[in-house]
Amino acid sequence: MKSDIEIAREAKKRPIAEIAAKLGMGPRDFLPYGHDKAKITHEFIAGLSGRKQGRLILVTAINPTPAGEGKTTTTVGLGDALNHIGRRATICIREASLGPNFGMKGGAAGGGMAQIVPMEEMNLHFTGDFHAITSAHNLLSAMIDNHIHWGNALRIDPRRVTWRRVLDMNDRALRETTIGLGGPANGHPRESGFDITVASEVMAILCLASDLQDLQERLGRIVIGQTFDKVPVTARDIGADGSMTVLLRDALQPNLVQTLENNPALVHGGPFANIAHGCNSVMATRTALALSDYVVTEAGFGADLGAEKFLDIKCRLSGLSPDAVVLVATVRALKMNGGVARADLAVENVPALREGCANLGRHIENLRGYGLPVVVAINHFTSDTDAEVAAVKEYCAEHGVKAVLCRHWAEGSAGAAELARTVAALAEADSAEFQTLYPDDMTLWQKIETVCKRIYRADHVEAAPAIHEKLAEWQSAGHGHLPVCMAKTQYSFSADPNLRGAPTGFTIPLREVRLSAGAGFVVAICGEVMTMPGLPREPAALRIGLDAKGRIEGLF
């Protein structure tokens, strides 16, 4: 088998105008970026309102393990396969962050025969969206310190400015800094720091905004800190919302690319899956729904985090409603959930596999709680035995869910045709009766408890009095209607990454809460959250370069 990058380089890409034409776009409806990337214009999107909407399929997964589940690969394979069986399907996924690609091996968009191209550009600057977000975020930062420097009319307390700066780079040295040193000409010294761009609230806002006007309103609502009287100060108070919108105008337009099989894919936005909601943009999903029979999309991490936030944040805030959910599992990852060590994964072990299926089972139950029909996709690995695959299918049958073996990684759309037919049958039965997990008018604390108890199955949620005070303060300040955005380890239903399977009898410790008033949620942090990664001892950057033919090597 060839490597992902070799396959991607040999892709028979069609001109992007041809892909756009498949979606009914004329040459003025998109802005080309090279010959294989484009942005769909605001004008074209504005003309889509009232169009019949396609069906929305969410791809999610069991709790991730180092063994890999192949969620994105399955998303791409299913999208291709739906086209293969005669449905016009568009794939919607997130953009990759540039910075981390120079640390670890770059994140490809899918793998094997189920990939989105151009892979190199998508792992580098792509169409510049993340750079625009960096600029907009840092303009607000500069304007805050500038306001303080020139007399501080708003009486901003420099010690209580929570808005930091961002770079799309893994740079641990910037996590904690002092700025404004060097005397009066350089402003007021204070402590601050940098996060990675995908952790910016501006990223989350871009992904939840429904249009330019909504974007500006959300940007204006960002709370940057407090005055000396502890009154919240917003980006609108600073006067930054207009300029930030201008910087993001082009970035808000969804990016069009294609799969190896020349089907359309919208790759747009990439918020963190912990302190943000981890989904591609509402603009992209809505645009794709207006242009396709089916839209296949995914959400970050396992279903306890990713699907929950997709459903309780993105769908709630945008009015989107999925028609079916695909839950991806692999024999290898299920065996790890059943206690098998990574080194032993190639050995058949049906008992451990059945044990690990408890993880799968709980996700199925959770997703059904949202009123959604579920199908399990067993993403095939060459080491899987027939007995193991049969055991997974049997487990699913016992739980009233169909499980389909998929070989899209090796075979492309043909390998996921059965999955596509199953998904289409489920979705076209119109059996989905989507409801969010909790209503808007529950208190913030109750919302957190509801997710922890009903999705994670915790017995208790622990929080210091200061956290309760903050939640009560936001509640009375008019933020009580917001959904909660949970930040927790992705490796377990619990807050302990080593508790695999379907643990019970645990407590979730709520360590911190943050208000993202612009994005429109309250972040509940249960554990450590790293918002600025570092580079490893031997970063990938040491091996990245151009080869003799001018091609990029080492990035993948």
Q: What count of residues does the chain have?
A: 556
Among 26, 66, 86, 545, binds its own copies (CB under 8 A): 545
Cβ-based nearer residue to its own copies, 65 or 197: 197
Q: Which residues are annotated as a binding site?
A: 65-72
Q: Counting contacts by CB under 8 A, is residue 537 touching its own copies? A: yes
Distance in angstroms (rounded) separating the CA atoms of residues 475 and 467: 12
Cβ-based nearer residue to its own copies, 26 or 351: 26
Among 154, 179, 414, 472, binds its own copies (CB under 8 A): 179
**Tokens matching residue 286:** 């809505």
Other CB atoms within a 10 A radius of the CB of residue 469 amount to 10
Q: What is the DSSP letter of 13?
A: P
* Residues 249-308 interacting with its own copies (rule: CB under 8 A): 249-250
How far from 370 is each of 99, 100, 324, 325, 366, CA to CA, in Å?
36, 34, 11, 10, 7
Q: Counting contacts by CB under 8 A, is residue 12 touching its own copies? A: no
Q: Counting contacts by CB under 8 A, is residue 212 touching its own copies? A: yes
Among 171, 217, 365, 411, binds its own copies (CB under 8 A): 171
Q: Counting contacts by CB under 8 A, is residue 32 touching its own copies? A: yes
* Residues 53-112 interacting with its own copies (rule: CB under 8 A): 98, 102
Distance in angstroms (rounded) separating the CA atoms of residues 486 and 495: 11
Q: Counting contacts by CB under 8 A, is residue 160 touching its own copies? A: no
Among 91, 116, 132, 156, binds its own copies (CB under 8 A): 132
Q: Counting contacts by CB under 8 A, is residue 535 touching its own copies? A: yes
**Tokens matching residue 470:** 């903050």
Instruction: Check if the beta carbon of residue 478 is closer than 8 Å to that of residue 524.
Output: no
Q: Where does residue 536 rank: exposed (0-12), middle (13-18), buried (19+ CB within 10 A)?
A: exposed
Active-site residue, 126 included: no
Q: Counting contacts by CB under 8 A, is residue 499 touching its own copies? A: no
Distance in angstroms (rounded) separating the CA atoms of residues 471 and 445: 7
- Annotated active-site residue in 22, 39, 55, 71: 71
Among 67, 167, 358, 389, binds its own copies (CB under 8 A): 167
Q: What is the DSSP letter of 343?
A: G
Strands (E) in 299-416, as ranges, are 324-329, 374-379, 403-406
Q: Which residues are annotated as a binding site for ATP?
A: 65-72
Distance in angstroms (rounded) separating the CA atoms of residues 479 and 280: 24
Active-site residue, 73 included: yes
Q: Counting contacts by CB under 8 A, is residue 124 touching its own copies? A: yes
What is the closest distance, in whole angstroms, from the C-beta atom of residue 314 to its own copies in the complex?
25
- Annotated active-site residue in 273, 420, 458, 495: 273
Active-site residue, 273 included: yes
Burial pattern 295-331, b for ≥16 Cβ within 10 A else e, equals bbbbbbbbbbbbbbbbbbbbbbbbebbbbbbbbbbbb
Q: Counting contacts by CB under 8 A, is residue 210 touching its own copies? A: no
How far from 288 is each of 208, 212, 258, 267, 527, CA to CA, in Å?
15, 18, 13, 11, 36
Other CB atoms within a 10 A radius of the CB of residue 358 amount to 17
Active-site residue, 285 included: no
- Annotate 492-519 with DSSP letters as a single string: -SSS-TT--SS--S-EEEE-EEEEETTT
Active-site residue, 94 included: yes
Span near its own copies by CB under 8 A; candidates 69-77, 164-172, 269-277, 463-471: 164-172
Cβ-based nearer residue to its own copies, 32 or 371: 32
Q: Counting contacts by CB under 8 A, is residue 31 touching its own copies? A: yes
What is the closest distance, in whole angstroms, from the C-beta atom of residue 191 to its own copies in the complex?
8
Q: Counting contacts by CB under 8 A, is residue 28 touching its own copies? A: yes
Q: What is the DSSP letter of 463?
A: E
Span near its own copies by CB under 8 A; candidates 134-142, 382-390, 466-474, 499-507: 134-142
Cis peptide before 118 (omega within 30 of 0): yes
How far from 483 is each of 49, 438, 459, 490, 524, CA to CA, in Å?
26, 9, 21, 20, 10
Contact characters 505-534, its own copies, x per CB under 8 A: -----------------------------x
Among 57, 205, 247, 396, binds its own copies (CB under 8 A): 247
Task: Give the number of C-alpha atoms closer than 13 A to the C-alpha of residue 305, restricted to the C-beta side.
Answer: 28
Q: Counting contacts by CB under 8 A, is residue 414 touching its own copies? A: no
Active-site residue, 407 included: no
Among 24, 128, 371, 527, binds its own copies (CB under 8 A): 128
Q: Counting contacts by CB under 8 A, is residue 546 touching its own copies? A: yes
Q: Under rule CB under 8 A, how many of the chain's residues touch its own copies?
A: 74
* Residues 224-243 interacting with its own copies (rule: CB under 8 A): 239-243
Q: Counting contacts by CB under 8 A, is residue 13 touching its own copies? A: no
Q: Where does residue 368 rank: exposed (0-12), middle (13-18), buried (19+ CB within 10 A)?
A: middle
Span near its own copies by CB under 8 A; candidates 266-274, 282-290, 477-485, 537-545: 537-545
Catalytic residues: 71, 73, 94, 105, 273, 301, 381, 409
